[in-house]
Structure 1
Amino acid sequence: MAGSLYSHTGSGSNYLCLTTDPLWGHYDDSAGVHTAQIYGAEYEGLVFSSSLHDEDAPCSVCQSKAARTVMMIPGRNKCYTGWNMEYNGYLVANNIDNTKSEYVCLDSPPDVIYGGHTDQNGAVLYSVEGICGSLPCPPYVNGRELTCVVCSK
């Protein structure tokens, strides 16, 4: 998994699954200051698994042979009736002190890239908590980490 540096205000805002065997076109190997940049992703503030802190996050692609529609439902860990669960876990994103990122449903238990446990702080993943106000509480609970589920139909 990869994304922009957690503190950069530019570059992309979404996380990407990068290939393990890149092919190159035209390139310049000098690192430029006026470029977009991409970094590997690592786990940071995951309240449900502190043992993953600073581990590098792999990426996965979900394929469903029969499904025509796939959706991620934040705030649930089970699909609605008539939908098939592909996986469930916890909602993650960059934290509030850094630049914006997309929300991702992180499989539970999450996998790691073995040997990648140094604190690089590239793209980072934190648990997402609900905050009451314009978010209705109930049914949400202030400060509670949100689950998620990926469903197909």
Structure 2
Amino acid sequence: MDPDWDEYKDGVAGKKGYVFGTEYQLFDGTNDIGKKGFGDWDVPCSVCRTEGASSTLMIPGKTKCSDSWKREYSGYLMSGHANHVAATQYICVDRDFEKVPGSSANKNGALLYPIEARCGSLPCKPYVEGRELTCVVCSK
């Protein structure tokens, strides 16, 4: 909410990247994971900070950490839609995700969708075609 600026030129220009706010694309009856009623709500920014840990690791497809690691949180693997051309990365969204109050306007900047397993180069045993993937963030 308080950006620092360096050298810049005001105005929209071509051939640049853009940064957007992000909305959940979790509509009741469509993407039934986690909490309900989060379609088009803005995603708040967050930072995973750990006391005394020097490493953090996000592990897709898991809900627990190995014995020598501490679980910070677990939830659902999410990213932009597979058919969208915007740059994106997989992120682990806490299963107790939150929304920005009063932000339910559909502005379609960056959009977060649950990630499903697709069989092929990803083996369908142990993975299941179409099943939403979990994730865990661990520290050590």
What is the TM-score with the length of structure 2 in the denominator? 0.89
**2:130 — aligned with what?**
143
> Structure 2: which amino acid aligns with 1:134?
S
* Local SS of the residue matching 2:37: helix
Check if 1:60 corresponds to 2:41. Answer: no
Counterparts of 1:150 and 1:75, CA distance in 2: 11
Q: Give the CA deviation at 1:50.
A: 4.3
**Structure 1 residues 28-85: Cα deviation after superposition (integer angstroms, max 9, x where no partner):** 3321123221110110144314410000001111111221111000001111111100
Q: Does 1:79 align with 2:65?
A: yes
**2:2 aligned partner:** 21
User: Aligned AA for 1:36?
Assistant: G
Count of residue pairs brought into register by the alignment: 134
Percent identity reads 43
Q: Are residue 134 (structure 1) and residue 115 (structure 2) matched?
A: no
Match of 1:47 among 32, 55, 68: 32
Unaligned runs of 5+ in 1: 1-19
1:85-141 superposed Cα distances (whole Å, 9 cap, x missing partner)? 011100001111102410000011211111111111101100000011221121111
Give the aligned CA root-mean-square deviation in angstroms.
Answer: 1.4
CA distance in 2, matches of 1:75, 1:38: 28
Aligned to 1:105, the other structure's residue is in SS state: strand
The answer as to 2:94 corresponding to 1:94 is no
CA distance in 1, matches of 2:51, 2:128: 36
